[in-house]
Amino acid sequence: MAQILPLDPATYRRHPIHGENRTWAETNCYSDVIIELLHGLGHEPMAALPFTLAIDFEGDQWTFFKFPPADLLELYGFDIQELAPWRPLVEHIEEQVGAGRPVLVELDSYFLPDTAGTAYRLAHVKSTVAVNEIDLGNRRLGYFHNQGYHTLEDRDFIDVFQTEGLVHERMLPPYIEYVKRAPRFTPPAGAALVEASLGLLRRHLGRIPERNPFPAFKAKFQQDLDWLLTEDIEAFHAYSFVTLRQYGACFELAGTCLGWLAAQGVDHLAPAQAAFDQISQATKAFQFQLARSMSRRKPFDLAPLDGMAESWAGAMDHLDRHFGGTR
């Protein structure tokens, strides 16, 4: 068996970002995995969240937000490298985990038991997990995924890694990364961590969109409504995931980041935190309203997006005034 941390899903306590009081219990698979991996390894992931400020509407979707590798290297010494598979996947994972390196790999949620009720044995959906433990002999895998830490074994192990043969000969290998620890690196702690996080905040304020992204999103949403209101629930989930869920969850994380910094004694953050929380909560309600409109085939009011645009502009102006000076 190769193992990095001696974790048990029954006793593992997930990070408060994935607590029951959150507006968005899950964000996206990659960000959720990094949050729990950092937490499991004893780090505070909230310090690395300033990147959430810079998301934008990209024309057909909102930014699929992910922790920038440079930020993870600066704060925690995480050096994320791509793994090029040339042997069976399980052998690569065993070797890297045995070397103390968590492996980030895309797996099929159809075979991940922690997705019971949504994808497990129901739908083939790729999702990133972080492998902490692998036991080839006993066909067991311990992994971070979504909101916590989980295990799978036996038939699920065989199926998720296709150890008894590929589903078809044209099946492509997944995208794989491994996490090295920077040598001779001591992660900042206490006041040094707060200062490093503030450095990221100032840096990412320089990356925020030049124009408020909400008017452009509203215009595109208005165009999409004609066909969206004729589609089924699967179209709703796909559309909502790349739009409403992405920016709603991301701005909740932005508010969480500012709340953490404020709790460490940083001033002038409360107005922007409140604005991001407002966007997040309003988007959740907006998503429910869209689902109802689609099920009833009735018109949908996009006016709430105007309020979100105002909140975004107010938050960014406030942060730039106190921490940026670039606009």
* CA nearest neighbour of 39 among 50, 47, 28, 27: 47
Looking at the chain, the whole-number percentage of residues with pLDDT higher than 70 is 97
Report if residue 70 sits inside a domain: no
> Residue 326 has what pLDDT?
56
Residue type at 310?
E
Residue 169 clears pLDDT 80, i.e. is over it: no
Report if residue 43 sits inside a domain: no
Q: Any bridge partners for residue 305, and if so which?
A: none
pLDDT for 173-222, tens place per residue?
A: 789 999 999 999 999 999 999 999 999 999 999 999 999 999 999 999 99
Residue 308 clears pLDDT 60, i.e. is over it: yes
Q: How many CB atoms lie within 10 A of CB 180?
A: 16
Q: Any bridge partners for residue 148, and if so which?
A: 145
Per-residue pLDDT, averaged over 302-320, amounts to 97
- 8 A C-beta contact, residue 48 and residue 229: no
Distance of CA 2 to the CA centre of its chain: 26
Residue 7 and residue 155 in one domain: yes
pLDDT grade for 299, boundaries at 50, 70 and 90: confident
**Nearest-angstrom CA–CA distance, 149 and 133:** 11
Report if residue 283 sits inside a domain: yes
CA-based torsion, 167, 169, 170, 176: positive or negative: positive
**10: domain range?**
2-14+84-181
Residue 209 and residue 298 in one domain: yes
Per-residue pLDDT, averaged over 272-296, amounts to 95
- 8 A C-beta contact, residue 92 and residue 104: no
* Helix or strand holding residue 196 (H, E): helix 191-205
> Residue 267 has what pLDDT?
97
Boundary residue ending a domain (181, 208, 223): 181
**Nearest-angstrom CA–CA distance, 37 and 294:** 37
- Please state the pTM of the whole predicted model: 0.94
Residue 325 clears pLDDT 70, i.e. is over it: no
Report if residue 140 sits inside a domain: yes
